[in-house]
Structure 1
Amino acid sequence: MNATSAAVTAAVTFVWLGMVLAISFLEAPLKFRAPGVTVPIGLGIGRVVFRALNRVEAVLAAAAIVAVAVGGPPVSVGVLTAVAALLLAVQLLVIRPRLNRRSDRVLAGETLPRSRAHHVYVATESAKVLALLALGVNALIA
């Protein structure tokens, strides 16, 4: 992998990783602990924040894919890029629509039990974090 592509891949990957860690594992759970934040308010904030995060993630994923494609990467970098992008696609195309439908119901006043889709989202987010960490490290040593 050429040095420029490796540097761009690593930089994009670590920015992406930092955003996911900050939003998904710090902001998201903490907002519900803030005084006066009800479940509907927290869901409303979460929808706005995650919509913005996911847009930025899509741009970062595209940048990583281009950097990797141009750089002639080792197999590990190509596979990890594909895994991270695939996990993001699953979140955006499969899991998030389910969560959005559920949050629509809660915002409309329904009381619902905990969501399995939320647990699946957290699991894919955790897997994406591991993939991004491995990708960033592999890009640095490529």
Structure 2
Amino acid sequence: MDAASAVAVAALFVWLGMVLAISFLEAPLKFRAPGVTLQLGLGIGRLVFRALNTSEAVLAAVVVVSFVVRPPSAGVVVAAAVAIAVLAAQVLAVRPRLSRRSDAVLAGADGPRSHAHFVYVGLELIKVIALVAAGVALLVA
């Protein structure tokens, strides 16, 4: 395996690990910790997901640059492109809705729960599958 492909594999699997650790472990568990109120959990979540999405964007850029240096197979490119497109959809379409809802909750509003969380989690699942597919396909290539 050449250096560019190794960097892409590393970036894809680090990205995957971050998504799994934050979205599927930290996010649900923080609300079960003693003394963590909904408002505190939302405030922490906003900071954590902003940092996660920024890190994801950096890792996506590393993957793209690695692909420019050493183009992989079309399947790898498609899988990585799906992960990048999902990230863009989350940041540009879903997170603003989540932010509006968390702003309202932090301001003391009550009301129906946001369905945007379900959309975000569904997109996370798609992103996880795409990252696994891209990483594995690049490893076995």
Question: Match of 1:108, as an amino acid?
Answer: A
Q: Percent identity?
A: 62
State the Cα distance separating 1:4 from its structure 2 match. Answer: 1.8
- The 2-side partners of 1:113 and 1:126 are apart by 24
The correspondence of residues 7-86 of structure 1 with structure 2, limited to 5 A, is 7-86=6-85
Deviations 1:24-69 (A, max 9, x none): 0000000000011111010000001101111100000010111112
What's the TM-score once normalised by structure 1's chain length?
Answer: 0.96
1:118 aligns with 2:125: no
Unaligned runs of 5+ in 1: none
Amino acid at match of 1:83: V
Cα RMSD for the two superposed structures: 0.9
Q: Take 1:23 and 1:9, find their aligned partners in 2: how far apart are those partners? A: 21
Aligned partner of residue 37 in structure 1, secondary structure: coil
After TM superposition, the structure 1 stretch with the greater mean CA deviation from structure 2, 68-77 or 29-38, is: 68-77
Unaligned residue ranges in structure 2 (runs of 5+): none
Does the residue aligned with 2:66 lie in a helix, a strand or coil? helix
Question: How far off its partner does 1:112 sit?
Answer: 2.3
CA distance in 2 between counterparts of 1:129 and 1:90 reads: 14
Match of residue 101 from structure 2: 102
8 Å contact from structure 1 (residues 68, 77) kept in 2 = no
Could you tell me how far apart the structure 2 residues matched to 1:9 and 1:112 are? 44
Q: When the two structures are aligned, how many residues end up with a matched partner? A: 141
Deviation at 1:70, TM superposition (A): 1.7
For 1:112 and 1:14, locate their aligned partners in 2 and report how far apart those are by CA, in whole Å.
38
8 A contact 1:80–1:135 mirrored in 2:
yes
Distance in 1 between the 2:49 and 2:24 partners? 12
Which whole-Å CA distance do the structure 1 matches of 2:68 and 2:104 have between them?
42
Q: Does 1:132 align with 2:134?
A: no
